[in-house]
A = this chain, B = another copy of it.
Amino acid sequence: MTISIPIPKGFQLAGVHCRLKSNATQPDLALVMSEVPAVAAGVYTKNLVCAAPVELDRQRTPSDRIRAVVINAGNANACTGRQGEDDARKMASLAAAVCGAAEDEALVMSTGIIGHFLPMEKIEQGITAAAVKLGSRPTDLESAARAIMTTDLVPKIAGRTLEIGGKTIQITGIAKGSGMIGPNMATMLGVVLTDALLTPRMAQSLLVEAADASFNCISVEGHMSTNDTVLLLANGEAGGDVPADDDWSRFRDAFGEVCVELARAIADDGEGATHLITIDVTGCVDRDSARKIAKTVAESALVKTAIAGADPNWGRIVSAAGYAGVAFDPAAVSLKVNGFVLFEVGAPAEFDAEEVSNSIRANRDTHVELAFAEGTAAARFWTCDLTVDYVHINADYHT
């Protein structure tokens, strides 16, 4: 399905199994190498309690000389104190070594159980094995995407190809979800590679802007992980100059599309999800207000259970907007679900509940549109529904 997406020029990937995950057949360590020093940018969790790899990468980005990224699943290296910091540094330097780079030219990401030290012997064996496999198979991209999965059901890969100044530019990313944190649980990780030429400052601002409209606009249950990290590597191997003007605009759009596709895929694969819910909020004073309302609706357990039950429950949606902490005129609010008008200028609309319910039941995607009359700003947020399976995954994982 996804292996037809090209890997940007000058990058090699591999995913290997080194016994970090309990499932003995799944890959659990990914290595990404750039054949030349790449510009790198990062966005990270805002959680005060953050993992050692996050602290290391924060120090090393933005950069203009990253050669490797190593990612493991099965152990988050979080709440592991001084030894955790040493392990993260060691893991990065092992990855740098197999790629022939200086020890501080690598970045690292971890996801999995927290409060346990990394099994460094396995990590080291994994990095060695991955180095051997780098660039050897057409399924490298998918292996790497699979290696970073935790409770994810499917690997998440997205790509865009565009022509800039006669050169073919590729942007390709991988990501994983799908719950937020905890022993045996998850985190959001992503790495987007491109062979375009960018400056560190361009890369950082591009990533911040794109993440703000993608990775920072999704929620499974609103629990912010200690390990969330999205990296961008740009190695310039496509040839050509730094994109400017219209080329920059086209590149930025394509990069944004890759991030949105990955972020949507994370929400869609949220633990136990049977629906991907897209929430569009329009007519606000500013984007921040629109985003706050969209996020509050997305995180309401009552909204999420209603969609799971295929119920066009406008009361839950409108009342969630009401406690978002954003001022608006309730008498001017309108709401559509899957295109059906449920609430119009402050009052319940006439609609056929059975028809709307059937539409929710028949489609994995549910579209919620909330319109206000305060201004012209808008925001979009993605979440998934809340099902019995979510509770099973997160309550019964020990039994």
Contacts and interface: CB of A to CB of B under 8 A. Distances in A.
A222 B327 CA distance: 19
A10 interface: no
A391 B223 contact: no
B221 A323 contact: no
Given A391-B390, A397-B309, A182 B224 contact: no
A221 B318 contact: no
A319 B79 CA distance: 10
* Nearest 4 interchain pairs by C-beta: A49-B322, A309-B395, A305-B394, A224-B323
A179 interface: yes
Interface in A157-207: 179-183, 185
Interface in A220-240: 221-226
Contacts of A330: 48-49
A182 B306 contact: yes
Contacts of A398: 309, 311, 357
A246 interface: no
21 contacts: A48-B327, A48-B330, A49-B318, A49-B319, A49-B330, A78-B315, A79-B318, A114-B315, A115-B314, A180-B302, A181-B319, A182-B315, A221-B301, A223-B300, A226-B322, A301-B394, A305-B395, A309-B399, A311-B398, A357-B398, A388-B391
A14 to B, nearest CB: 29
A333 B48 CA distance: 11
A84 B223 CA distance: 38
A353 to B, nearest CB: 9
Contacts of A221: 300-302
A81 B347 CA distance: 7
Contacts of A391: 305, 308, 386-388, 390-391
Given A78-B319, A305-B391, 10 more contacts: A47-B319, A48-B322, A79-B343, A81-B346, A182-B319, A183-B311, A221-B301, A301-B390, A309-B398, A388-B391
A392 interface: yes
A316 B49 CA distance: 11
A94 B185 CA distance: 56
